[in-house]
Structure 1
């Protein structure tokens, strides 16, 4: 097996993450922000585009009646075990074909980080290993994946992070979350296909 590609994460920005989704952050300035709660708070709206590609239960023109309707699942991911090694092995990617998926750190203080890994979809409907990208996010930033974007589960470094997540789910496993394991590319069952440089 040839040497694994080593991918260096870059700091995430609105611009370099745009093809995969949106960075969810408090804007530096927003002319559309409004004063709310009797003048004690500001409201910043429409920070991400949340999409559900499944048909509504009332859609009589549904072209794919086998798809069940889905509802938004507001969940918490408790990432309690930060990665402590200088490199992290990429063995799989996942995608949510019909829904955006938002991750928003809870109680982020800017002193912890997590890594986001994405890849393009290929003509065989599998992730293209050579297109892997990695982004470093501090724990005050959230991200919102577009539907059908291949990505790795959260890689938390430095300290634990709790994320509030929102995903439209129907309860049908392969429709809610599809996984692809890089066993063929890595040359061994369960082996790594690439490395993310963390330190």
Structure 2
């Protein structure tokens, strides 16, 4: 007998809803912005607190994520305790983030799922639990700003009970 997995609720990514986990990186009237370059460029300023932690340095990478198929079981979470980790999509495709508050390893009921639009990035605060990259639709590239430096900076834990991200219409 197969037991149905409890499904997670997917909500739209907003600054307010994501605030406990970090920052949303996007062009928005809510962000501080001003004109530069002789009036030819609008600068959306200081959108995320990049935290390389003590003895760390900020690095820039590109992650290429394969498209995930939904529904998707969520069996593990990871965190980077020594620094933040920012993800910015490069191809304008939607993607998902699964997060849980920093601190002790998350219980399944601690998980939140956000549908991010292709013009929205996220910056996970140091220690925030999150699922590995969840590209949708097609293989997708993401600009990543995170920490390099001494010490282990990736903890991975299995969830004590699997949850499922349901299928959704994009």
TM-score by length of 1: 0.76
Determine which of 118, 123, 131 is the counterpart of 2:99: 118
The answer to whether the 8 Å contact 1:121/1:128 transfers is: no
Unaligned runs of 5+ residues in structure 1 are 55-68, 187-192
What is the rounded CA distance, in whole Å, between the counterparts of 2:62 and 2:36 in structure 1? Answer: 27
Moved over 3 A (4+): none
Contact 2:25 2:120 in 1 (8 A): yes
How far is the alpha carbon of 1:29 from its aligned partner? 5.9
Q: Deviations over 1:53-81 (max 9, x none)?
A: 32xxxxxxxxxxxxxx22112100111x2
Which secondary structure state, in structure 2, belongs to the residue aligned with residue 91 of structure 1?
strand
Q: How far apart are 1:2 and its partner, in Å?
A: 5.6
Matched with 1:24 is: 25
Match of 2:163 in 1: 194
Change (3 A) 1:136 1:20: same
- Greater radius of gyration (CA): 1
- Aligned-residue offset at 1:10: 0.7
How many equivalent residue pairs?
167
Distance 1:121 1:40, change over 3 A: closer
Separation in structure 2 between the aligned mates of residue 198 and residue 45 of structure 1, nearest angstrom: 35
Question: Matched residue of 2:18: which SS?
Answer: coil
1:34 aligns with 2:34: yes
Query: Which ranges of structure 2 fall in alignment gaps of 5 or more residues?
Result: none
1:99: Cα distance to partner?
A: 0.6
Q: Identify, as 1 or 2, the structure richer in strand.
A: 2
Root-mean-square deviation over aligned CA pairs: 1.9
Distance 1:71 1:35, change over 3 A: same
